Structure 1
Amino acid sequence: MSHVTSITRSAGSKQGLIIQFASSLTIMGSVMIAPMLPKITAEFAATDPGSVDLIPLIVAAPALAIALFAPIAGVLADVLGRKRMLLIGCLLYALFGALPAVIGDIKLIVLSRLLFGCAEAIIMTCCTTLIADYWAPADRMRYINRQVITIGVVGALFFVIGGIAGEGSWRTPFFLYLAPLLIIPAVIAWLWEPDRRGEEASAPKRPQQKIASTIAGSYFLIFAGMVTCFVVTVQTPTVLVGLGVTSTSLIGAAAGLAILSTLLGSIAWPFFRDRIGVARVNACLLWFMACGLFVLSLAPSYPVVLVAMVLQGFGAGFLVSNASLPLLMKLPAGLRARGIGGFTSCLYLGQFASPLIVAAIAAPFGGIPAGLAAAIVIWGVVTALMALAWLFVGASKSREPAQTGNG
């Protein structure tokens, strides 16, 4: 059993399962609805052709809302408490998540999805912060990695579940967003507000400059890493169409392989972290993703594209755990939630910015699709240079014990 920072309570597998399940609600926000877009488009385009431009926002709006609202969610969690904000987030998630099932106006649906994203920001920020609040440093690494793995598995499951639920009507999957109502009793009964004052009183004081450098490094890594991840996620279908692959099954299989590789990377992360340290793992994951970009840009056939998906996915499996670990280890309890909120914001800003960055790089080469290969190569070079920079950071330090989380 792992000991919580409070002297009166300890957290174990029960609390871990609640936090892992609550964390997985965020991935449900997009993957479950993406398969429904063609049906939504067909229904609204028939009566209001102008609404077609708004339909992609049904998937994209929550991510943008998370990016914008997560820092605010972090401040609220530090001021009002993690458990209270988690309960509020679950209630809002259920309300705004299910609302599109009974709304007939596309603009109101998009608005509800924006508010839904704010609820996701609250849940993700509070869950990640509670991992650091409840468990000692050695156990935090284990639970943050379990969180990442659970999110990946749930994302894959609900991609299928959403498609099955939507066979009859595109509105049906939205009712699945009522799921958080099932865990609210468990949150009330088995989670508690951590003793932040007690932890801060006993924790060693860290220089403000050291805390600032930790935050800057984690924020930069997760933003740049997510830009790179989504270059592959967003641009691979275009690459495959250019190779003459138009089968949605084959394109979906490539995405599935990337998800599987990411899960394998998450499982392998502790092995790499314990042997080469956090900073060198940063270099390693960026190099894997850079290699994936180079292979994707030069791929002459579908099998070679699959190789790119494996390389990129494996590196991506290290990313969230390794980038967030220094924050979970070093941030003082009173600032922890807002620090995690900023991290969550950078994660989703990277997703949002990725296609914009690729389009900007491709513009001088004829735009997309003509300049896509050149844009991918250029961003691959940028990623490789970032990997080299992190390698120098790792080389400047002694080999880091697993307990420190230095990076």
Structure 2
Amino acid sequence: MPHSTPATNRTGTTAATAHERTTATAGRPGRLVIGTLLAASTLTIMAAAVISPSLPALGPALGSGSDDGVLVRLALTITSLGIALTAVVVGSASDRLGPVPVLLGSLALYAVAGVAGAFAPSLAVLLVTRVLLGIGVGGVMTSISTLITREFDGEERRRYIGLQQTFASLGGVVFLPLAGWLSTIAWNAPFWIYAAAAAVLPFAAVAFRSRQRPAPSATPPRPGSGAPMPQRAVHQVLGILVVAGVGTLVFFMAPTQLPFLLADRGASATLIGIVVAASTASSAVAAALFPQVRRHLDQVGVTAVSLVLLGLGWVVVGMTSFTAVLFIGVLVGGLGVGLVVPTLNLWIVDLVPAERRGRALGGLVSAIFLGQFLSPLVLAPLVSRIGVADAFAVSGALTVVVVLLGLGAHRLRRPISMTPRP
């Protein structure tokens, strides 16, 4: 995708950012606002994967007759489908109503629908609760991204977008091993982790009470705000969504395929949770380093490096029979995801005017979670034919090859910038 940087004034501030600053509420975001945004971020990426350690026991517990079938995996990924189908709608609601009401409502839905899965009497009922959970997750994730771009600009925005991904990954580091331990008690015990959203909800209500703003539709439009986006920008956004979806499809082999690979090798549920969480741990580290990396590489460069790391990590996972080496491959793959998500997020923010960001960021959330949902479905024929380990190796190698070919084609048009970013 071609590199694009918005026009800046003499201080390096984009026109859109300058407009946002003039409409900002008085005062900088306080600790409660920042803490609430980061705490809510921990509930997003890990949401579907919380039940990953329970997958081998889920089928027998609900009478499906299989503990490793595609339908059992769907109990995890159908949450991602719920997010993918509704995040753009939720983002549009955020543009019209403002992100704060969307955040509060989504946290409430998240808690209720998530915990309800613990009481599901059948796989069918469980799938319904998981779809509703997905709607809540999409609302939380989209509204957090919108609020960060509203509350911060410039270097601070870059920092907090990186921190958003860091804390989203840390949610996996904390909750996935906990889920693995809880799954040794009962298959449905990990569902109680979703009650964490109920703990965040009152803090969010208090934190943003004094920072409410009129919905964008209620404010006078600025000149040119109703003009359509340039066709080139639209194409770039669509390209970003494709990269996000395909990259997530490959990465989500960690929670959907690794449990079965490790279980076949005699690993315990607790160890499975730790290994899957390792990918989010390294993702958190990479996201924390994102602002520094972004100063030296443009969007295309960071995206290419990220996806190559993901591919190489999966090649290692697929080619080793040693759990310790497999663990290293999982860490390398997680590093790539930790860099690519904030990169694509900020790329969209640069391309899309403020009054349309909720919908655009909702589109990014939809692409990410559509990739999660499709991952076991797309890879099922490959896994059944060559096995889980070889599927990791083949998927990783294809990822690296496609990225290198795309990077070569891009550099023929425009070299990657290695100069510090403004």
* TM-score bin, normalised by smaller chain: 0.7 to 0.9
Give the drift of 1:238: 6.0
Pair 1:353-2:374 in alignment:
yes
Task: Please give the alpha-carbon distance, in whole angstroms, between the structure 1 residues aligned to 2:175 and 2:339.
Answer: 22
Cα pair distance change 1:294/1:26, threshold 3 Å: closer
Give the drift of 1:18: 1.0
State the secondary structure of the residue aligned to 2:44: helix
Deviates more, 1:169-178 or 1:146-155: 169-178
Pair 1:215-2:232 in alignment:
no
Counterpart for residue 305 of structure 1: 326
The two structures have a TM-score, normalised by structure 1, of 0.83
Give the drift of 1:260: 2.8
CA contact (8 A) 1:278 1:400 kept: no
**1:89-238 correspondence runs (5 A):** 89-165=106-182, 168-191=185-208, 192-194=211-213, 196=216, 201=222, 207-231=229-253, 233-236=255-258
The two structures have a TM-score, normalised by structure 2, of 0.80
Task: Please give the alpha-carbon distance, in whole angstroms, between the structure 2 residues aligned to 1:67 and 1:75.
Answer: 14
**1:3-402 correspondence runs (5 A):** 5=21, 6-9=23-26, 10-37=28-55, 40-45=58-63, 49=65, 55-165=72-182, 168-191=185-208, 192-194=211-213, 196=216, 201=222, 207-231=229-253, 233-236=255-258, 245-248=265-268, 251-299=272-320, 301-360=322-381, 362=382, 367-369=385-387, 373=390, 376-377=393-394, 380-390=397-407, 393=410, 395-396=414-415, 398-399=417-418, 401-402=420-421
CA contact (8 A) 2:294 2:421 kept: yes
Task: Please give the alpha-carbon distance, in whole angstroms, between the structure 1 residues aligned to 2:179 and 2:60.
Answer: 18
Give the drift of 1:19: 1.4
CA contact (8 A) 2:176 2:277 kept: no
Cα pair distance change 1:89/1:402, threshold 3 Å: same
Aligned residue identity for 2:267? S
Task: Please give the alpha-carbon distance, in whole angstroms, between the structure 1 residues aligned to 2:311 and 2:181.
Answer: 35
Deviates more, 1:158-167 or 1:80-89: 158-167
Task: Please give the alpha-carbon distance, in whole angstroms, between the structure 1 residues aligned to 2:409 and 2:275.
Answer: 34
Deviates more, 1:34-43 or 1:268-277: 34-43
Give the drift of 1:254: 3.8
State the secondary structure of the residue aligned to 1:179: helix
Deviates more, 1:146-155 or 1:294-303: 294-303
Counterpart for residue 6 of structure 2: none
Give the drift of 1:66: 0.8
Aligned residue identity for 2:38? Q
Residues 27-65 of structure 1: CA deviation (Å, up to 9, x unaligned): 4533433334455544433xx759997554432221111
CA contact (8 A) 1:132 1:329 kept: no
Give the drift of 1:341: 0.9
CA contact (8 A) 1:254 1:306 kept: yes
Unaligned runs of 5+ in 1: none
State the secondary structure of the residue aligned to 2:362: helix
Task: Please give the alpha-carbon distance, in whole angstroms, between the structure 2 residues aligned to 1:106 and 1:350.
Answer: 22
Deviates more, 1:309-318 or 1:232-241: 232-241
CA contact (8 A) 1:214 1:326 kept: no
Larger fraction in helix: 1
CA contact (8 A) 2:246 2:371 kept: yes
Aligned residue identity for 2:265? V
Aligned residue identity for 2:421? A
State the secondary structure of the residue aligned to 1:334: helix
CA contact (8 A) 1:19 1:127 kept: yes
Give the drift of 1:277: 2.1
Identity of aligned residues (%): 25
Residues 248-280 of structure 1: CA deviation (Å, up to 9, x unaligned): 366555434333322222223222211122221
Task: Please give the alpha-carbon distance, in whole angstroms, between the structure 1 residues aligned to 2:154 and 2:304.
Answer: 23
CA contact (8 A) 1:87 1:184 kept: yes
Give the drift of 1:346: 0.7
State the secondary structure of the residue aligned to 1:8: coil
Cα pair distance change 1:384/1:232, threshold 3 Å: farther
Counterpart for residue 10 of structure 2: none
Task: Please give the alpha-carbon distance, in whole angstroms, between the structure 2 residues aligned to 1:168 and 1:358.
Answer: 31
Task: Please give the alpha-carbon distance, in whole angstroms, between the structure 2 residues aligned to 1:121 and 1:383.
Answer: 29
Aligned residue identity for 2:319? L
Give the drift of 1:397: 5.6
Give the drift of 1:327: 1.1
CA contact (8 A) 2:250 2:375 kept: yes
Cα pair distance change 1:261/1:231, threshold 3 Å: same
Residues 317-364 of structure 1: CA deviation (Å, up to 9, x unaligned): 21211111111233112211110111111101112223333345x38x
Cα pair distance change 1:182/1:38, threshold 3 Å: same
CA contact (8 A) 2:315 2:396 kept: no
